[in-house]
Structure 1
Amino acid sequence: MKPVDIYFLHHSGFILELEKTILVFDYFQDPENRLDEVLAHRDKNLYFFVSHVHGDHFNPSIRHFEKRAKGYFLHRDCRLNLDDRHLLHEMEVGDRLKAGPLSVHMYGSTDAGGSYMVETEGLRIFHAGDLNWWHWAGERDEDNRDARDAFFRELSRIKEKKVDIALLPVDARQQVAREWGVKQFLRHFSAHLLIPMHAFGQRWAPSYEFHWLFPDQDIWIPEKDGDHVGRIL
């Protein structure tokens, strides 16, 4: 069993603190200064992951943590200026690499950039970035069908069928289609802990149908920026 502390930064940004490692995904804003707080009291290897260049997922200010960081993993559409270029790992969809204690595989997206499957310390973590079933009311049926097909195509490429932590978009703007992506993910993969992100509005309250389909699913839904939860996985 592995302990993990999880901190919600903002939007799709999270800190995952493991026994020896701190992983930071899609740092955009940190209104509660959680990262500074964690780093002030820890001496652990620090790694950053950026799924794509959109401003709500990528903030170049992460370079200010360079003296503490052991590595930065970014999709190639991002540009980050570091003094030590050896810390920078630019990735494209399909790339796999090992860096220190990490095994990192970049899977695809249904928007910009990619998604991350990270394995370290006996845990497997999937951060979807903007990989989702993006169905929008008012869009042409043809466009929504293409978006659906693209989502299922990307899911079919993910080889790991079990993950310990899955961070997935559950976007309020999609209204009735809000849960479509997360439901399909859980039909194809098992996740010990599900964490919704990319809310863009009202906090997700899983529907009756969701609870009926996945009655035993462990879910952590952050209520506000800076929220924290601890788990043994």
Structure 2
Amino acid sequence: MNVTYLDHSGFCVELKHTVLIFDFVEGSLPHFDPKKAIYFFVSHRHQDHFHKHLGELLTAYPQAKAIVSSDIRRVRDAAVTFMRPKEERMLDDIYITTLQSTDEGVAFLVQAEQQVIYHAGDLHWWYWDDDSKSEKAAMKQAYFTEIKKLCDIPIDLAFLVLDPRQESDYWMGFDAFMRINQVQYAVPMHCWEDYDIMNRLKNHPCSEPYRDRIISYDHRGETFQIGGKQDEICI
């Protein structure tokens, strides 16, 4: 599959017959075969995840469909499918499962063309120093409850939050997901263009068991290719 970093938490995943576009807000979409089925995924209503002109995108790509979190009510189009947290749905040839975000909306687990792809949206261990002890405990429990639901599902590609605003605690949510779940390759996102945070994670002692499975990038529009489960990453 070809994967293109669009911006922030936005990525395009191109398979042989299918294009999956997650949380596209800014940047340019790559060129792909117009005959392919196209699916836009929108995890929640925050402006860094939801393209306010989604209707125009669907007009520009008449064959496209959108899978949109149910917290978004500003889109009315026959090509839009709304999904609530903890829901499963078969749409054409792709199977979609949603998880409950620890912030807004949903995370997506998508099975298409024998590939399993996870996009976290804002499902993350949001650990903040100024939260109370009880708030921190509730957040941790909510996060672990959701991500443990995937522990028996081999994931080919996971897009996971790595947010520099969490300062010294930036690594905790990413690390927990990688240790609990079976992830072939992981792509950091939600980095606010602090691309060096990926190198900091790779150099952090926590990542020793999985750092060779972290895919990093340093500019919008960067594309990398992932073949089979045993193939090398080409950037």
Give ranges in structure 1 of 5+ residues lacking alignment. none
Kept after mapping to 2: 8 A contact 1:173/1:201:
no
User: Of residues 20, 26, 31 in structure 2, which corresponds to 1:38?
Assistant: 31
RMSD over aligned Cα atoms: 1.7
Residue pairs, 1:1-233, within 5 angstroms: 4-30=1-27, 33=28, 35=29, 37-39=30-32, 42-67=34-59, 68=61, 69-82=63-76, 84-85=77-78, 87-158=79-150, 160-200=152-192, 202-203=194-195, 204=197, 205=199, 206=201, 207-214=203-210, 217-233=212-228
- Contact 2:19–2:39, Cα closer than 8 Å, also in 1: yes
Alignment size in residue pairs:
222
What amino acid is aligned across from residue 72 of structure 1 in structure 2? A
Q: Which letter does structure 2 place at the counterpart of 1:9?
A: L
Secondary structure of the equivalent of 1:230? strand
Q: 1:227 to 1:201 in 2, by over 3 A?
A: closer
Q: Report SS of the residue matched to 1:112.
A: coil
- The residue type paired with residue 205 of structure 2 is E
TM-score by length of 2: 0.88
Of the structure 1 ranges 220-229 and 123-132, higher mean CA displacement relative to structure 2 is found in 220-229
How many Å apart are 1:159 and its aligned residue? 5.7
For residues 145 and 92 of structure 2, the distance between their equivalents in structure 1, rounded to whole angstroms, comes to: 31
- AA aligned to 1:93 is P
Q: Which runs of 4+ in 1 moved over 3 A?
A: none
Name the SS for the 2:73 alignment partner. coil
Gaps of 5+ in 2: 229-235
Deviation readout 1:5-29 (Å, 9 max, x if unpaired): 1111111000001101111000111
Residue 107 of structure 1, CA deviation: 1.1
How far residue 110 of structure 1 moved from its aligned partner, in angstroms, is 0.7
Q: How far apart are residue 156 of structure 1 and its match?
A: 2.7
**Alpha-carbon distance in 2 for matches of 1:12, 1:126:** 12
The sequence identity of aligned pairs, in percent, is 27
Tell me which of the two structures has the higher relative contact order, counting C-alpha pairs closer than 8 angstroms and 6 or more residues apart.
Answer: 1
- Indicate the larger mover: 143-152 or 90-99: 143-152
Q: Secondary structure at the match of 2:139?
A: helix
